[in-house]
Amino acid sequence: MSTFTVTRQEPRLVVPAETTPRELKQLSDIDDQEGLRFHIPVIMFYESNPFMEGEDPVSVIREGLAKALSFYYPFAGRLVEGPNRKLLVDCTSEGVLFVEADAEVELNRLGDTILPGSRVLEELLHDVPGSDGILGCPLLLLQVTRFRCGGFAIALRLNHTMSDGAGLVQFLSAIAEFAQGKEVTAPSVSPVWQRELLSARHPPRITCLHHEFEQVLDTNNDDANSTPIQKPFFFGPKEIRAIRNHLPPHASASTFEVLTACLWRCRTRALALDPNNTVRVSCLVNGRSLPGLIVPHGYYGNVIIYPAAVSKAGKVCSFPLEYTVELVKTSKLQITTEYFRSVADLMVIKGRPLYTVAGNFIVSDVRRLGLDTVDFGWGKPVYGGPAGAFPGLSFYMNFKDGIVIPICLPEPVMERFEEELKKMTKEPFDGSVGHRPPKITSML
């Protein structure tokens, strides 16, 4: 079921519960890159809980939000831009947008339409006119929608320059702590700003090779440039086992590496690119645990980069899957503290460019962030994670006993993608595919 009526109240601004400082705070040079200057939608669905009978999720979450904003007050401000496109937060305490809504449907009637990429999001996250800009607009929009069964959904849209997924979960957890405990006076994790820790060096210097920021011409065919659609794809133990059957028995690879290699190959084949075209896969990496990168506990800014591995489209399409898996591993192995510093310096030197778009497939594994465990008092969500994909960008989320991944492609390309994916997940495979790949000595 995907059609139902939602009644929304007028949007209102929720401001910090306590007085907060009026100041200008700089974002880091990782935060304000062009590739993060967009709003990312996230959604969480909660079932009714008899122990919470009489409690209104809208009121509980709105009050928790106001209290959390007293500690995370930059979220209540607005972005301004300085010289060299430098972003700063003007901490005005104007507030974040909040929408109260009611849906004339039970949560269990929605079925698989709660999965990312569904059009349900259009009803559960209202695009308040004039709220989706990067500068001078609310940095966060939340809509809490009650279902007739007593369950509810929290959908939000975050200006990505403010936080990555880990930072957002930290903020949501603070809201949840205030929502659950009337006696809570401060979040258990104190928020840390200190964005200067990930700013460029003086003088800035690019010391690493960054395939993810190479500017290339888009040579896609007409199909690839038509209107994109979204679909979620589920990978349970059966599907993952089928994909692994395309690898030699001795191959060592994580589920993420195997899935990414498979999706990159299927996507490249579906795009029907010239075999000599260069294609990329970029694996988004959280740098919080990198040795030498000092990121204090409680830091809620962006600590993410997306190094790319590159190859020719013909090789990705025709070489055994093991070749593509090794490329995915190569992408991840590039990450060092120096690589992070080099990205920040590149942003300052080159004017904060957008990542390479043409022929690039970016993947972000958010399964361990905790979006599916945030508890406002009603228990864990039945689904919690990004609300969909973007062209060229997909997310990996937990769902039931597997992983759900939304894919965004033009409709004719999506049809070919699904056919390619069926070959990888359902057809018997005897291992006799082409030739063994050469040892990878270069990414090109």
| pLDDT for residue 438 is more than 60 | no
Torsion of CA 87, 90, 91, 96, to 10 degrees: -80
Total tally of structural domains belonging to the chain:
2
- Check residue 443 and give its pLDDT: 33
Q: Is residue 433 part of a domain?
A: no
Q: Write the DSSP string, 180-246.
A: H-TT--S-SS--B--GGGGSPPSS----S--GGG--------TGGGS-EEEEEEEE-HHHHHHHHTT
- DSSP, collapsed to helix, strand or coil, labels residue 365 as strand
Q: Is residue 158 part of a domain?
A: yes
Do 236 and 187 lie in one domain? The reply is no
> Under a CB-based contact definition with an 8 Å cutoff, are residues 346 and 150 in contact?
no
> Per-residue confidence at 219, pLDDT binned at 50, 70, 90?
low
Q: Strand (E) positions, 210-347?
A: 228-235, 278-283, 285-286, 304-305, 308-312
Q: Strand (E) positions, 290-401?
A: 304-305, 308-312, 360-365, 383-386, 393-399
Do 85 and 140 lie in one domain? The reply is yes
Mean pLDDT, rounded, for 295-300: 97
pTM exceeding the 0.75 threshold for the entire prediction = yes
Q: What percent of the chain has pLDDT over 70?
A: 94
- Check residue 112 and give its pLDDT: 84
The catalytic residues are: 160, 375
> Per-residue confidence at 226, pLDDT binned at 50, 70, 90?
confident
Look at residues 374, 373, 421, 412 and name the one whose alpha carbon lies nearest to residue 394: 421
Q: What are the tens digits of pLDDT across the range 381-437? A: 999 999 999 999 999 999 989 999 999 999 999 999 999 999 999 855 555 444 344
Last residue of a domain, one of 155, 178, 198: 198
Cα–Cα distance measured from residue 301 to residue 285, given in angstroms and rounded to the nearest whole number: 14
- Check residue 98 and give its pLDDT: 98
**Residue matched to tokens 């990159």:** 264
> Per-residue confidence at 250, pLDDT binned at 50, 70, 90?
confident
Q: What are the tens digits of pLDDT across the range 2-18? A: 579 999 999 999 999 99
> Per-residue confidence at 220, pLDDT binned at 50, 70, 90?
low
Q: Mean pLDDT lowest for which of 223-232, 327-336, 368-377, 381-390?
A: 223-232
Domain containing 396: what range? 228-425
Do 236 and 381 lie in one domain? The reply is yes
Do 135 and 276 lie in one domain? The reply is no
Do 238 and 132 lie in one domain? The reply is no
Q: Please, what is the average pLDDT of the chain? A: 92
Do 247 and 350 lie in one domain? The reply is yes
Last residue of a domain, one of 150, 177, 198: 198
Do 86 and 139 lie in one domain? The reply is yes
Q: Is residue 434 part of a domain?
A: no
CATH of the domain at 309: 3.30.559.10
Do 395 and 276 lie in one domain? The reply is yes
Q: Is residue 205 part of a domain?
A: no
Do 299 and 186 lie in one domain? The reply is no
Q: Is residue 22 part of a domain?
A: yes
| pLDDT for residue 158 is more than 70 | yes
Cα–Cα distance measured from residue 173 to residue 71, given in angstroms and rounded to the nearest whole number: 13
- DSSP, collapsed to helix, strand or coil, labels residue 149 as coil
Do 127 and 265 lie in one domain? The reply is no
- Check residue 113 and give its pLDDT: 87
Q: Is residue 439 part of a domain?
A: no
- Check residue 278 and give its pLDDT: 95
Q: Is residue 209 part of a domain?
A: no
Q: Is residue 208 part of a domain?
A: no
Do 186 and 240 lie in one domain? The reply is no
Do 191 and 253 lie in one domain? The reply is no
